[in-house]
Structure 1
Amino acid sequence: MITVRTAGLALAAALLLSGCSANDALQRVEQVKQEAGKAMLPTIALGECTNLEIPETESGSQVSSIPKTDCAQPHGWEAYAEKEYPLDASYPGETAVQDEAGDFCSGEFETFLGVDYDSSEMELQYLYPTQDTWTSLNDRTLTCLVGSSSNDVVGSLKGTQR
């Protein structure tokens, strides 16, 4: 946090000295802070694979890192879809976010795998922002994961109809 604040103040001073208005400088400082917050989030890109251990509980659990693995090697999960909330949106609440993630990921499942979720042998999981990550890290991303908790998937699941 100190680094972001220090970098932001230095940026604001540089912009003010270069002839930008104070309002422009503050907007740019805010943008730097938002981007810095995003960089601190654990992320996984679409098409990347992981052996992230996902507890088998009804309630979500916090993820502090997402270990990536080569999709050609045995793994558990592949990121197949994501959805972004607008940066200026208010946190809709954990239940609403979970419901939206479930609906969105289920809807994208068939498009990715080529078979609907109820007919598939694969599992569906998702990562979603909490009130804390929404507020402190500007986390606005729902990420859908497909795979198996047994970590025995090899290769991409795209179009496999499994």
Structure 2
Amino acid sequence: MTSRSLLRPLALAGSTIAVALVLTGCSIPTNVFSGDAERDEAGQVTSESNIDIFELKVGDCKLADDATSTELSDTNVVRCSDPHDEEIFYEFDLPDGDFPAADAVEQTVWETCDPQFEAFVGISELDSALTYAYFSPTQDGWERLGDRTIQCVLYSEDGTQLEGSAKGTKI
């Protein structure tokens, strides 16, 4: 499982939309055979899917998860050309060792994701209409599964959905 840590408290709008879809009877298809989405030769998602959190890749666009949950085992991905709430823009692994303290993880995230945000979007986060959060390993995932991966996840600061990849947009 992966823990979701928000650096900014503005991710509720997307989860409200997802909850509304569920309550109105809409559903998101699940790929029950592989745990991953259908992808083209370039690795891009080709249809909406509920995937195992460990199948999430850089460049994936997704719908917001339940903002009240601190642990995720699955998430909903969509084609980036479809309306979405978040996009994975970078990932890296923490070094082996004991499970790190939350403040150490957050410091590493700031030092690593900030320059990668600017490289991906084309402007600094401070000048952007976008911001980011991150997914990080839980202690259980760290110890039992060897999960060391941090994923940097961008989203619109005002909670509006994105259409298309944010790569190079300078928004």
Work out which structure has the larger RCO, using CA pairs closer than 8 Å and 6 or more positions apart in sequence. 2
Q: Does 1:68 align with 2:69?
A: no
Q: Does 1:98 align with 2:106?
A: yes
Task: Give yes or no for contact 2:90–2:113 (8 Å, CA) kept in 1.
Answer: yes
Task: Give yes or no for contact 1:126–1:145 (8 Å, CA) kept in 2.
Answer: yes
Larger Rg: 1
TM-score in terms of structure 2 length:
0.62
Alignment of 1:102-121 (within 5 A): 102-121=110-129
**Which residue number corresponds to residue 42 of structure 1?**
54
Whole-Å Cα distance in 1 between the matches of residues 63 and 101 of structure 2? 28
1:54 is displaced (CA, Å) by: 5.8
Structure 1 stretches of 4+ with a deviation exceeding 6 A read none
Give % identity. 30
| SS of 1:72 mapped into structure 2 | coil
Which runs of no fewer than 5 residues in structure 1 stay unpaired?
A: 1-39
| Equivalent residue in structure 1 for 2:155, among 147, 154, 161 | 147
| SS of 2:141 mapped into structure 1 | helix
1:99 is displaced (CA, Å) by: 2.1
**Which residue number corresponds to residue 35 of structure 1?**
none
RMSD of equivalent CA atoms: 2.1
More strand by share: 2
More helix by share: 1
Whole-Å Cα distance in 2 between the matches of residues 98 and 137 of structure 1? 21
